[in-house]
Amino acid sequence: MNEQNSKSKDVTRDIDRAIRRANDRIERCRDEIGKAVIGQKEMIDGMLTGILAGGHILLEGVPGLAKTLAIRSLAQVLDASFSRIQFTPDLLPADLVGTMIYRQQTGEFVARKGPVFSNVILADEINRAPAKVQSALLEAMQERQVTIGETTFELPNPFFVMATQNPIEQEGTYPLPEAQLDRFIMKLAITYPTAGEELEILRRVGVEFNPKLEKVLFGSDIQEIRGTVEQISVDERIEEYIVQLVTASRKQGERRSFHRYIEFGASPRASIYLYRCAKVHALFEGRSHVLPDDVKAVAPGVLRHRIIPSYEAEAEQLSSTDLVDLLLSAVPVP
């Protein structure tokens, strides 16, 4: 019995050491990105959560909120190849994945790979390109491979897509279909900086400011931190809480007063992503186990693009984020 207790304590100490080591690296990432991006801590942590949970991120906000700069800075601190794809109405799928070109010297057609063959992809203003182009990227995200001509090519590993979009009500945008939105692990709503942060931004105007960011997180580090995340424990009651949150968004079983505001609820994929992101958040907090607060912290990002507001919700100016808040208030915390 004493031997079992001793082994258990050793395992706990090993996990705690791994969590501290992971957070040291993550903090270095934050510090490096902070050299270029003022504020926006939630956005930066959201992107890091997506990477460590193995998913893709959608960032939504009006122009000028440092979405592109933050993604570019993140790619700089990772030891990873980077491509930026500016989505426009005249973009073609071949502009993303590549095409077959004729080589006169050999008389053969060869594949010319497109910008999607990078570790980190910035899909800038993804909702400004037509549906067939959006589908080409989202298929690559799902399958992690693309076909050029008759040949299928594996995409690099790791492979992350960070897509930005402007709010749907702005002119010249093509809304992403719900089924394609569901492929993003999180949707981050980017807010304006605080007055103090904006003052710091203002003071940099006119000053040559191009900080060189160090690479502080390598592919092996990402794999090691993901392994640490896997070791973080989730109690059965927390698992049940996650499922209850997701199923409460659907018009099935117990009827709730806020259901009139929901057209469609979240899919089972939401439960999986809530589970994974909550474990990453627990890691950020330095814990080896998930608490309800971890689930609550990541719920808006995981659920806001999976819960579709009804006409009644729109009439009362309730956003999907408001509906997530209603969910969190209605479901009892274990």
pLDDT in tens, 283-334: 999 999 999 999 999 999 999 999 988 898 888 888 889 999 989 998 989 8
pLDDT category at 272 given cuts 50, 70, 90 is: very high
Residues in the chain: 334
> Torsion over CA of 190, 194, 199 and 205, rounded to 10 degrees?
0
Share of the chain above pLDDT 70, in %: 93
How would DSSP label each residue in 190-247? --PPPHHHHHHHHHTTTS---PPPPP-B-HHHHHHHHHHHHHSB--HHHHHHHHHHHH
Task: Say yes or no to pLDDT of 45 above 70.
Answer: yes
What is the pLDDT, as a whole number, of residue 10? 57
Q: Which CATH number fits domain 13-200: 3.10.20.740, 3.30.530.20, 1.10.1200.10, 3.40.50.300?
A: 3.40.50.300
- Is it the case that residue 93 has pLDDT exceeding 80? yes
What tens digit of pLDDT does each residue of 181-217 get? 888 999 998 888 889 888 888 887 766 566 788 888 8
- Mapped onto helix, strand or coil, the DSSP state of residue 248 is helix
Q: How confident is the model at residue 254 (pLDDT cuts 50, 70, 90)?
A: low
- pLDDT of 89: 87
pLDDT of 260 above 90:
no
Contact status, residue 302 vs residue 186, Cβ threshold 8 Å: yes
Q: Which helix (H) or strand (E) holds 308?
A: strand 308-309
What span, in angstroms and rounded, lies between the C-alpha atoms of 42 and 33? 13
Question: Averaged over 100-106, what is the pLDDT?
Answer: 79
Q: Give yes or no for residue 6 having a pLDDT over 80.
A: no
State residue 211's pLDDT score. 75
pLDDT of residue 34: 87
pLDDT band at 275 (very low <50, low <70, confident <90, very high): very high
CA-wise closest residue to 280 among 119, 71, 46: 46
Q: Percent of the chain having pLDDT more than 90?
A: 31
Confidence (pLDDT) at 8: 55
Domain boundaries, the chain: 13-200, 232-334
The confidence score (pLDDT) of residue 280 equals: 96
172 vs 15, which has greater pLDDT?
Answer: 15
pLDDT reported for residue 141: 87
How far is 283 from 144, CA to CA, in rounded Å?
Answer: 27
Q: What is the pLDDT of residues 161-180, one digit of tens each?
A: 999 887 765 666 777 877 78
Q: What is the per-residue pLDDT for 209?
A: 63
Domain 232-334, CATH number (from 3.40.1030.10, 3.80.10.10, 3.20.20.70, 1.10.8.80)? 1.10.8.80
Q: Is the pLDDT of residue 9 over 90?
A: no
pLDDT at 12 over 80: no
